[in-house]
Structure 1
Amino acid sequence: MKANNIQNWKASTIVLLSLLISAILIGCENNNDLQQTQSTKTEVEMDTNKEQDNISEYTSELESLQMQTEYMNMQNQYLVSVIKQMMKNFSNEEMLEFSKKQFVYELQVNGESIPRNERLAIPQGDVEILLLEKGMGYDFLPPKWLEKGRLSGDYIDHILNFDTTNWTPLGTDGTVATAQGYKTTNMKAGERVSLNITDDLKEKLDLVTNKIQIDVN
């Protein structure tokens, strides 16, 4: 009888200990989950704060750029008004010279400008010849003077004596700059491209002669 009581007591003790251990383990797991949740929450809050700081920084930069743009626009408007006022005293010759300076022309071969001696060497392969027209972008000249300032007609027509056989026409049209030209492929070493330009284009390009020579190496 006494032995049975001892066994029952041991069994009850084991069950009680098991329950206590289970409770402790559950408590530890709950505590770990709570700590993990709190840690995750902290990380999210840190990420959110960082993003808010980045947004604030970008907003400040944007506002600064907007202020700079507004200031530059005001400066440009002031300069245009000053130029218009000065133009009232220009003679016809001065107006023509000023109008010509509102347009810049550049003759390029594979992105490289033609040098003053009008001779250029390029590697074999594809060849692209472009004539670019760049305007100043300011609307302070009357239309008639703008036309007098730029090359007459279609500016690509100022390239002369150029055999366009096996060449593909090219063209880009932008707000300030436009370009026209030609492209060909697989030019071999030893080949040569020759063309002429008008006196007006020669003056615009500040070149010495009217003949352009391109050698393929």
Structure 2
Amino acid sequence: MSRTTRIAARTVSAAAVVVLGLSLGACSGGAEPAAAPSESAPASASASPSPTELSPEDKAVKLAEPVVHEYFRLEDKALQNPSKFKYQWFGEVSVGSAQNYLEQEHSAAGEQGLHQVGATEVASVEVNEVDLTYKPKLTPPEIPFVEFTVCYDVTDLDTVDKSGKSIIPESRKDRGVVEVGVANYEYPDGPWLVDIVEYQEDETC
């Protein structure tokens, strides 16, 4: 994904609205049985491991992931009931073309009398890249970002018109891939905001 702000175009009237709720599963392996302590060895208290401080990259991921979740949750809310949603709220979690896209999508849904039913289930979320280079005075500027790849499932998501009729074509795939870039334009103390959203039209997961 380019650092340049951009977003893949989608037509509201011909595609499902995608909402991502980040749900990461934790994996755990089986532990081997501990060996019995030797009777001749003196008992000693085991020291607790000291907490490991997160690296700047890990901190960035930790802060950026919830923003991804909030971005798509807000998109979901906006499209479920366009008439009662204030587009200014998008600025709390997005910036640049990502924010502009959400505003246009919300406006188009309202004008066409469309609204979303249901939500998207996220199958997986992966971190692709973390770059904390901060050179805002360059042209173009280099801004810290975290890039995620999300596999989503829209089996239970529909977009309907005023009469309640679905506009989703039968050819729609139930699963897809989207890349999300989250940037911090005032690093390190500024907010992490979704800056880029790119739907990989030809990819499934």
TM-score calculated relative to the size of structure 1 = 0.21
The structure where strand makes up a greater share of residues is 1
Q: Considering only CA atoms, is the larger Rg found in Structure 1 or Structure 2?
A: 1
> Higher helix fraction: Structure 1 or Structure 2?
1
TM normalised by structure 2 equals: 0.22
Higher RCO structure (Cα 8 Å, ≥6 apart):
2
